Amino acid sequence: MKPTSALCVGALCSLTIVAVNGQSAAPSVLPDWSGAWTLEGPTVFDAATVQPKNGRAGDAGVREFPPYTDEYEALYKKNIEGIKQGTFPDPVSTCGTPHGFPRLMNLPDVYEFAITSEKTLIIGENGPNIARIYTDGRKHPAKEDLWPTYSGASVGHWEGDTLVFTTISTKGWSGKDVIVDRTGLILSDASRVTTRMRKIDPMTLEAQMVIEDAKALKATWRVTKRYRKQAAGTWAWDYACAENNRNPVAPSGKTLTLGPDGKPIDKKVD
């Protein structure tokens, strides 16, 4: 057999779904989400409800309108006020922790997707951010075997060309470490996000998220994100946030600016 033929056969084999535990409903050939992709629009998580319209996450007074419980509405308002005062840091400013799910679906820079029959990896260049979505038929671990993590635990399956996965066991808002976007948007550690992701045209991936959260939400919250395919051959690179982080966070919550000598150059450091 010619080498090229062997490669083609190997590729076909790798694209063929093998039923695991008799549960696979996957297509015979996995979808092609190759290349590099970027989030459409700015990093406001729920652009459908943001006020003011086209407001940018992190600008004072910008907010979205998830169906929050009174408790979480109050927490969100407190975060929004902190942003106005300049004392609400982005938790990822510390460099080293992931953004968390579902913020992982709301990142700047590029995304890459690695699809196998066993799992799909969503790799955010702006990281460290990797979502591991197991599609081999496994269930979520038992409650006693789980602990809250930034990206949570995701299992899913294929419905034709659509990846359907559910993410649980995320850290949620504890007062400091995980937000959904820089407006101060938050969820709790009880969130359960079901995502349906598919290519709606050759250049566009769409993720429809249905968010439930018994602590934070009084109703289901639906958010759709889209991702645009970048030019062929686009590279993704290391995003080593700690390499030269000149914006540490002071105990007050104020984000500082360091000079080239590593010392704060802010006129007031509190």
Residues that bind other proteins (CB under 8 A): 42-43, 54, 56, 58-60, 83, 86-90, 92-93, 95, 108-110, 125-126, 182, 230, 234-241, 243-247, 249, 254-255, 257, 259-260, 265-268
CA atoms within 13 A on the CB side of 156: 28
For residue 31 the two structure tokens come to 């979808």
Shortest reach from residue 110's CB to other proteins, in Å: 8
Shortest reach from residue 243's CB to other proteins, in Å: 5
Phi, psi angles (nearest 5°) of residue 166: -120, 135
Query: Which uninterrupted H or E stretch holds 225?
Result: strand 221-229
Cα–Cα distances (Å) from 77 to 72, 91, 161, 209, in that order, read 8, 17, 40, 24
Shortest reach from residue 227's CB to other proteins, in Å: 15
Shortest reach from residue 239's CB to other proteins, in Å: 6
Q: Nearer to other proteins by C-beta: 77 or 246?
A: 246
Q: Nearer to other proteins by C-beta: 26 or 50?
A: 50
Q: How many residues does the chain have?
A: 270
Shortest reach from residue 198's CB to other proteins, in Å: 26
Q: Nearer to other proteins by C-beta: 45 or 158?
A: 45
Shortest reach from residue 242's CB to other proteins, in Å: 8
Q: Nearer to other proteins by C-beta: 67 or 128?
A: 128
Round to whole Å and give the CA distance between 186 and 9: 47
Q: Nearer to other proteins by C-beta: 161 or 266?
A: 266
Q: Nearer to other proteins by C-beta: 66 or 127?
A: 127
**DSSP codes of every residue in 40-52:** SS-S-TTTTT-BS
**DSSP codes of every residue in 88-151:** ---GGGGSSS---TTGGGS-SSEEEEEE-SSEEEEEETTTTEEEEEE-SSPPPPPGGG---BSS
What residues contact residue 258 under an 8 Å CB cut-off, 6+ apart?
246, 247, 248, 264, 265
Q: What is the DSSP letter of 181?
A: B
Phi, psi angles (nearest 5°) of residue 208: -100, 120
Shortest reach from residue 90's CB to other proteins, in Å: 5
Q: Nearer to other proteins by C-beta: 204 or 255?
A: 255
Q: How many CB atoms lie within 10 A of CB 65?
A: 13
